[in-house]
Structure 1
Amino acid sequence: MLLLFFATFAQSRSNLWRLVQTILGLIFRHPITGASIIPILPDGRIVLIKRRDDGCWALPGGMVDWGEDIPQTVKRELREETGLELVKITRLVGVYSAPDRDPRIHSICILVEAEVQGEMEIQDTLEALEIEAFPPDSLPLGKMSHDHTRQLEDYLNGLTTLA
């Protein structure tokens, strides 16, 4: 979490951010792994959050914590960012690994579709400003955070992507 805070803080100052990226690359020497979730409510709507750091709509998700596997990360991130409970992961949609897909750090994102239930309520107010459920034909696919527009388009087109 400290790494993400520092990366987000440093992002606003481009020269400092390039230095931080170089240092992180030397220290870690490997991308960070994370997961994004396409949460599907029982009525078929897709849940998105509006991120606090960039004000854009995004899929819920985050970095895999030490000792977690992807299903545990999906369950935790859903609860933290949306208040929803995971019913089951229904599909692997793709793996996204482009070095510039996340403006903060080189990360590999595993995207899954998941059936969810419960009441939508932001738990982590430091990350999310807003939460909303959209019918699949009314998603705000314009400027989304990270590469989430591509991820949602791949999902809507029925693709399984390795990028």
Structure 2
Amino acid sequence: MNIFALFAVGIQSTRSLWRFGQTVLGVIFRHPVPGTSIIPILPDGRLVLIRRRDNGLWALPGGMVDWGEDIPSTVDRELKEETGLELVKIRRLVGVYSAPDRDPRIHSICVVVEAEVRGNMEVQDTLEVMDIQAFHPDSLPPEPMSHDHTQQLQDYLKGLTTLA
């Protein structure tokens, strides 16, 4: 094979690789990413919130679903990673939130659950979380909260199951 034939094969390979890369990027960036928010309830009835390091706002713990993971596993993992708390059980589905602008970083679809938890609150992921506190439902921190967590928490406190 001469140099020109090798060059042509290289160009075709590069084009194929580029098309493959475009397809992967399209799947990643043009489709919503699934995630969870967790409303952790301690045995004494207090709700656990985290203060996010990236924007300094209070938020519900949670995060993106990893490849090969289901929602209950994500809830368990994210709860441990962000708060150090142990999942006892998922009590109920609070809602599914899918507005394209609900997360300032990406278009994500968030499954929100109420979870019975136990253990000692302790920041595990210091890159994401700067504080953890438990609040009585009648003494939650003032707005705003991160993302659309204010709406998620209001829907929970009203006993709603929301599809938004």
Query: TM-score by structure 1 length?
Result: 0.84
Distance 1:46 1:33 in 2: 23
Structure 2 residue identity aligned to 1:150? Q
Q: Which residue in 2 is equivalent to 1:60?
A: 61
Is the 1:82–1:131 Cα contact (8 Å) retained in structure 2? yes
> CA RMSD, aligned part only?
1.4
Q: Secondary structure at the match of 2:109?
A: strand
5 Å matches for 1:37-56?
Answer: 37-56=38-57
Deviations 1:102-147 (A, max 9, x none): 0000000000000000000011000000000000001124110000
**Structure index of larger Rg:** 2
Distance 2:133 2:41 in 1: 12
Q: Which residue in 2 is equivalent to 1:95?
A: 96
More divergent stretch after superposition (25-34 vs 76-85):
25-34
Question: Deviation of residue 29 (structure 1)?
Answer: 2.3
Q: Secondary structure at the match of 1:104?
A: coil
Is the 1:141–1:149 Cα contact (8 Å) retained in structure 2? no
Distance 1:28 1:127 in 2: 22
State the percentage of identical aligned residues. 80
Structure 2 residue identity aligned to 1:93? V
5 Å matches for 1:11-160?
Answer: 27-160=28-161
Q: Which blocks of at least 5 consecutive residues in structure 1 are unaligned?
A: 1-23
Q: Which residue in 1 is equivalent to 2:15?
A: none
- Number of residue pairs matched? 141
After the TM superposition, which parts of structure 1 deviate over 6 Å for at least 4 consecutive aligned residues? Answer: none
Question: Deviation of residue 28 (structure 1)?
Answer: 3.5
Q: Which blocks of at least 5 consecutive residues in structure 2 are unaligned?
A: 1-24
